[in-house]
Structure 1
Amino acid sequence: MTESERYTVISADCHAGADLLDYKPYLESRHHEDFDVWAATYVNPYEDLLADTADRNWNSERRLAELARDGIVAEVVFPNTIPPFFPSASLMAPAPTREEYALRWAGLRAHNRWLADFCAAARGRRAGVFQILLNDVDEAVKEIRWAVTAGLTGGLLLPGTPPGSGLPELHARVYDPIWAVCAELGVPVNHHAGSASPPLGEEPAARAVFMVETTWFSHRALWHLMFGGAFRRHPGLRLVLTEQGSGWIPGVLEMLDYYHGRLVAAATRADTAESKFGAGLADQMGKGPSEVWRENCFVGASFMRPHEAALRERIGLDKVMWGSDYPHDEGTYPYSREGLRAAYAGLPRAEVAAMVGGNAARVYGFDLERLDALAAEVGPTAAELAEPLKEPPADATSPVFAPGGSVRVW
């Protein structure tokens, strides 16, 4: 790559959704009356969805233009706005009763159908991540098959099973039909931060505890699926952990390897207190955690920081997929070029190319040749991203620019 050549940047973490009333045409008609009643009294709790910039979630032309100005030619599209019958963002609202499940399931299916149209409006540049609920596995499998036929290439958004949800834990065999169909059809299973935390309240302490714990609750999906044997039974299954940071991965893999080795060994010694904890684990899991990570797992490394980029080889160069988190305030827009410089300046160009686009193209099925042509017009140049960022933009809001270590000192 010469200095004038441009990187093909794919954001592996963006968010979108319809305006509230625009979901109605995507609902089955039997739900229209209930929707009218719900929408008439619903109060949106999110300031960013009430601001004059809220249409970034659904205004296709505005979105394409803003992402292009930011150097991004394609995106993986997670949900953002409130789907019908949900009290808040669907990432954080598991259905508590059968009645609520029925309505919320209808609302998520409406979102998925809206998303299929939204992605079709920029075909080849959006990989839509569709939603399911875990209350009815058979219905979830049907929706996965529908989503593939509808062209939603971003894969499945895996809900969490937070304490109090009443759902079986993710390691349970009851979810095997979901893993099986995803492996069969090549559907990535995405687990996004914020989707597995229990409700904690609105007190200052509760909000602080949420910030401390939310990524940990999201990480749980990794060891649940590993120890539950999902990857042994379904070798083609791929798990993507998005907007949960990436610097934690080497240490957690070491910890998981330690427990795996310790418990498998203990199972062979019936006279030890730990033998029961490792009983059957080797047969259920097959390979150890680090090997499963290498073969089946990826990270959506939203607004990646320099200290995380330094761990890229331990994480896996073929695992890291940078994301801008557009249109969120914590995302890098409109300073994604600066964010990329902060994280990747000075790194080998082939490695940067993989992390900013090549890996995401492989996981989500983007046509790189087509996107390269777009990137030749709008992508950041090799010379631009090689230039260290000495000062962050004054009005930048992304954590990648936070003082105290995110920007390299040169």
Structure 2
Amino acid sequence: MSDTQKIWANSGDSHFLEPDELWRESLPPRLAELVPRTEKDPDGQWETVHIDGMSFRRKLPTGKALEFLEASHRAPGAADITKRLPDLDQEGIWSELVFPSLGMWSSSFRTPEVLREALRVSNDWAYETIDKYSPRLISTAQVSTLDIDDAVTELKRCAEMGFRAVFMPVSPHPRQKDYNQDVWEPFWATAEEAGIVLAFHIGTDPIDLSSGGMAGQVYRGPGGAVLNYTETTFGGQRAVVKMVASGALDRHPNLKVLISEGGATWVPFIADRIEEGYRQHAMAVRPKLKRSPREIIYSQVYASFQHDATAVAAARSMGYSNVMWGSDYPHMEGTYGHTQETLHGLFDDVPSALKHRITVGAFTELFPGVPPLPTADAVAV
């Protein structure tokens, strides 16, 4: 495809695979022995996982499950920063928000010190490896949701380093109070003051690894794959409802929330539903909000999608303008290998102003200072 035909877009969702041994090699020995490590059985069918003084057994993926895992890591730049920008240039992706991978273990820790120091290592590594490599790459900070004081302290440090977003699981650590509780108020205030976006990524509900569970696996049996894939979207919606109904976003009008990879058409529906609940059950509603739920959501909540044609309709016909495209690079659910086909299919018949808003404008509104889109001879900045 020629440069004149290429649609360039910013991406509100991508991922990077950190080195497997990052935590073990960077922490002092007394802490390093508590971070996740695995021992595979000689037959290669099972493994023992050790984490934070606990051990459990789980079956290794085979067949289709193994193919799925390998396909999610197929892009050359998935774990090699030097190959990432050539991948993005080929796909027509300019700037991107980059989520972590090791952080998926966070809900399995039980010792605050270990989790705090492990995520501090991850943040230092991400900023040095990803953000400093190119201004096109914006990595998300990571903080402990096991200890809110630790989270506030690390968020302040990350803000001073230059982070512009913080990765948030859609539910906090199982040992911590939920996001609608007042204990989170210092964290929301810190993020608002620092101008850091709360970047919730779908599919990050805490899981019980000790029972052999796997991320995203809730259902088994007929329809299981589709049931599990669909289930991952709901956590982001719940996070928004908690932030709105509890008054957190109303109290912090400059705080911005991004729900990545969960589509966008749900946002107007959720706004309708909260409005109805707030109105029809007014006698029981606490706290009272200064602004309508719809106003709060439409002004402070952003949503990214990759393939959904209905997401464009949410911006075109439902009055919700904070719709943002995302590639989900390098995961197999994403657009790697067919990004241009996807973008042309979504936007060839869309008015130019709306196309720009979804592919470029909403992203740069959340993350100002991103280098401008390339000209025909400007790539790999």
TM-score normalised by the chain length of structure 2: 0.81
Equivalent residue number for residue 334 of structure 1: 337
* Aligned match for 1:161, one of 139, 146, 171: 171
Equivalent residue number for residue 203 of structure 1: 220
* Aligned match for 1:71, one of 89, 92, 100: 92
CA distance in 1, matches of 2:15, 2:150: 25
- Whether the 8 Å contact between 1:119 and 1:152 is mirrored in structure 2 is no
Secondary structure of 1:148's match? helix
Inter-CA distance 18–344: structure 2 relative to 1 (3 Å threshold) = same
Secondary structure of 2:302's match? strand
Counterpart code for 1:57: A
Inter-CA distance 32–252: structure 2 relative to 1 (3 Å threshold) = closer
**1:218-229 correspondence runs (5 A):** 218-229=236-247
Inter-CA distance 327–94: structure 2 relative to 1 (3 Å threshold) = same
- Whether the 8 Å contact between 2:314 and 2:320 is mirrored in structure 1 is no
CA distance in 1, matches of 2:38, 2:124: 19
* Aligned match for 2:126, one of 83, 90, 115: 115
Counterpart code for 2:184: Y
- Whether the 8 Å contact between 2:94 and 2:136 is mirrored in structure 1 is yes
CA distance in 1, matches of 2:69, 2:368: 30
* 1:49, distance to aligned residue in structure 2 (A): 6.5
CA distance in 1, matches of 2:376, 2:325: 16
Equivalent residue number for residue 104 of structure 1: 115
**Aligned-pair identity (%):** 23
Higher deviation after alignment, 18-27 or 226-235: 18-27
CA RMSD in angstroms comes to: 3.0
Structure 2 residue ranges without an equivalent (≥5): 41-47, 50-59, 209-216
Secondary structure of 1:174's match? helix
* Aligned match for 2:197, one of 188, 197, 210: 188
Counterpart code for 1:263: H
- Whether the 8 Å contact between 2:298 and 2:320 is mirrored in structure 1 is no
CA distance in 1, matches of 2:192, 2:221: 42
CA distance in 2, matches of 1:150, 1:350: 34
Equivalent residue number for residue 281 of structure 2: 263
Inter-CA distance 28–75: structure 2 relative to 1 (3 Å threshold) = farther
Inter-CA distance 135–21: structure 2 relative to 1 (3 Å threshold) = closer
- Whether the 8 Å contact between 1:105 and 1:132 is mirrored in structure 2 is yes
1:18 aligns with 2:18: yes
CA distance in 1, matches of 2:78, 2:138: 15
Equivalent residue number for residue 395 of structure 1: none
Secondary structure of 1:231's match? helix
Inter-CA distance 311–32: structure 2 relative to 1 (3 Å threshold) = closer
Per-residue Cα deviation, 1:129-157 (whole angstroms, up to 9, x for no partner)? 1112222111101111111222222x111
Equivalent residue number for residue 38 of structure 1: 37
Structure 1 residue ranges without an equivalent (≥5): 84-88, 268-276, 380-410
**1:352-391 correspondence runs (5 A):** 352-367=355-370, 370-373=371-374, 377=378
CA distance in 2, matches of 1:70, 1:5: 12
Per-residue Cα deviation, 1:149-205 (whole angstroms, up to 9, x for no partner)? 22222x11122337x924212110000011000110100001111112655667336
**1:226-305 correspondence runs (5 A):** 226-264=244-282, 267=283, 277-278=284-285, 280-282=286-288, 285-301=289-305, 303-305=306-308
TM-score normalised by the chain length of structure 1: 0.75
Equivalent residue number for residue 214 of structure 2: none
CA distance in 2, matches of 1:315, 1:233: 26
Secondary structure of 1:73's match? strand
Equivalent residue number for residue 392 of structure 1: none
CA distance in 2, matches of 1:329, 1:375: 29
Task: Indicate the structure with greater strand content.
Answer: 2
Counterpart code for 1:203: R
Secondary structure of 1:66's match? helix
Task: Indicate the structure with greater helix content.
Answer: 1
CA distance in 2, matches of 1:252, 1:79: 28
- Whether the 8 Å contact between 1:6 and 1:375 is mirrored in structure 2 is no
* 1:125, distance to aligned residue in structure 2 (A): 0.7
Inter-CA distance 166–287: structure 2 relative to 1 (3 Å threshold) = same
Counterpart code for 1:258: E
Higher deviation after alignment, 52-61 or 349-358: 52-61
* 1:307, distance to aligned residue in structure 2 (A): 2.4
Inter-CA distance 315–96: structure 2 relative to 1 (3 Å threshold) = farther
